[in-house]
Amino acid sequence: MNQKSTPADRSLVSDRFAESLRRFGLLGILAILVILAGNLVILPLSAMLVLVWAWLSRTPWREIGYVRPRSWVGTLAVGIVFGAAFKFLMKAIVMPLLDAPPINQAYHFLEGNAAALPWMLYVIIFAAGFGEETVFRGWMFERLGKLFGHGAWAKTLIVLITSVWFGLEHYSFQGIPGVQQATVVGLVFGTTFSITGRLPVLIIAHAAFDLTALAMIYWSFESDIAHLIFK
């Protein structure tokens, strides 16, 4: 006679499933591959799959950086100022030193293009801000942290790996200048996350960074900023 499963049995199966998702066995690796492939379907599916993975694997939200800020107003203000100022710094100093062109040709079509703004706002806020920070900082730091540990050298290695990966992700549509900028951004955001372990301010800062870049292109003062210091 078949015995019905008890709540304790179902709980044990659920515990084993969650543990398998957290480990790097067959199921854990499959979960990683599915998450990485998510954005090939639609943006920002990879980030949404990260949240599903965290829920199913019973990974505490804080381990992927989702820590409730003490003040949302303060976090919003810091993120906006940090992101916008960082973009001006990159455009006026860092990118010229890397011999990048003053005009971002990949997005030059956005100059005065009001029709493209709704889609770009979606991409910037959801795909870039929420999506990239959740995947490249929150989730990757958690996964690589399980492999390498959480010491100073391990964190340094994780920052370097995720920054290079983040940079290379931008090659197909922005070329070498895009890789250079994204790698530097990855280093700064990754270092910040390795110290704070908090994602909300970086999500806001990333969106503010890209919105500032969009404003520079849309209102045609990108080149002016690029030549502000280095004529």
pLDDT tens per residue, range 195-226: 999 999 999 999 999 999 999 999 999 999 99
CB atoms within 10 A of CB 55: 12
pLDDT of residue 38: 97
Q: Which residues contact 216 (CB under 8 A, 6 or more apart)?
A: 87, 91, 222, 225
Distances (CA, A) of 194 to 40, 63, 90, 142, 162: 28, 11, 21, 10, 11
Mapping DSSP to helix (H, G, I), strand (E, B) and coil, where does residue 150 land? Answer: coil
Residue-wise pLDDT for 6-58, tens only, equals 665 466 567 899 999 999 999 999 999 999 999 999 999 999 999 999 999 99
Please give the average per-residue pLDDT across 101-105, as a whole number: 94
pLDDT of residue 48: 98
Name the band, by pLDDT with cuts 50, 70 and 90, for residue 1. Answer: very low
d(CA 17, CA 25): 11
d(CA 105, CA 117): 17
d(CA 40, CA 208): 25
pLDDT of residue 8: 52
Please give the average per-residue pLDDT across 66-93, as a whole number: 97
CB atoms within 10 A of CB 77: 13
Nearest Cα to Cα of residue 49 among 67, 28, 64, 34:
34
The answer, yes or no, to whether residue 188 has pLDDT greater than 90, is: yes
Share of residues in the chain with pLDDT > 90 (%) = 92
Q: What is the DSSP letter of 124?
A: I
pLDDT of residue 12: 58
Q: Which sequence spans correspond to the domains of the chain?
A: 8-59, 66-226
pLDDT of residue 13: 62
The answer, yes or no, to whether residue 181 has pLDDT greater than 70, is: yes
d(CA 35, CA 24): 14
Task: Give the chain's mean pLDDT.
Answer: 94
